[in-house]
Amino acid sequence: MPKPPAPSLTIDDRLVIAAALDRILYDDPDRFQPEDARTVRRLIPHSRSSWLRLGFRAERQGPSMKGEAAGIGDVRMEGDKSVVEGNLGESTVWRCGQYKISNHGGDLEIWQVMSDEFAQEPKGARLEFDAGGRPERLTFFQPRDIELRIPFTSFAVGVRLGGWQPWKWAGDGTPAAGSA
């Protein structure tokens, strides 16, 4: 049986979503309007995500050369760096203005277009909703980087663990009882 086509967003929907996200992210440092969060959640189609989502990035430095140049002295030339990125278990991502958004049901994951989990300074946020569908809070992506060096070699393996830290609350800016 053929897979049904993915739902689409009109340009008007995308503009409404981008404007609501601008207000959520930038209007107030401590809170956001629940109606904006409900609007974004209503307009972004829900997509299934797998129970395990992994992203990876591998960097490899090419060979380097060193020598002497007449009149300059010691010279070192680094080889080209190659980068391979990928992911597993990602859900559908929607582009609206400067944002990429995924609707996982219980939360909306929001990234600036030129940013992701592997960026030097990642710019991601998550709008979280309670079981009744009421907006609760906004969290921001705070990575923890670990580097494992392989003894007696020049190899290192970097691991970035994602974590979400509280940022803003819906409505009056105070967490609900039992939240935090």
Closest CA to 41 of 101, 99, 82, 83: 101
Cα–Cα nearest to 126, from 27, 6, 29, 40 = 40
Say how far apart CA 174 and CA 159 lie, in whole Å. 34
Q: What does each C-alpha distance from 154 to 11, 64, 148, 150 come to in angstroms? A: 50, 13, 11, 7
Query: What are residue 145's DSSP bridge partners?
Result: 160
Give me the tens of pLDDT residue by residue for the chain, a chain 180 residues long: 444 555 688 999 999 999 999 999 999 999 999 999 999 999 998 877 665 566 666 677 778 788 888 888 888 888 787 777 666 656 788 899 999 999 887 899 998 887 766 667 788 899 999 999 899 999 998 888 788 888 888 777 777 777 889 999 998 655 655 555
- Which residues share a beta bridge with 139? 126, 166
- Using the 8-state DSSP alphabet, how is residue 97 labeled? T
Question: CA–CA separation, 32 vs 24, rounded Å?
Answer: 5
C-alpha triplet 109, 114, 117: angle, nearest 5° = 50
pLDDT at 39: 95
Beta bridge partners of 111: 100, 124
Residue in the structure block whose two tokens are 């409404």 = 16
Q: How far, in Å, CA of 150 to CA of 133, rounded?
A: 47
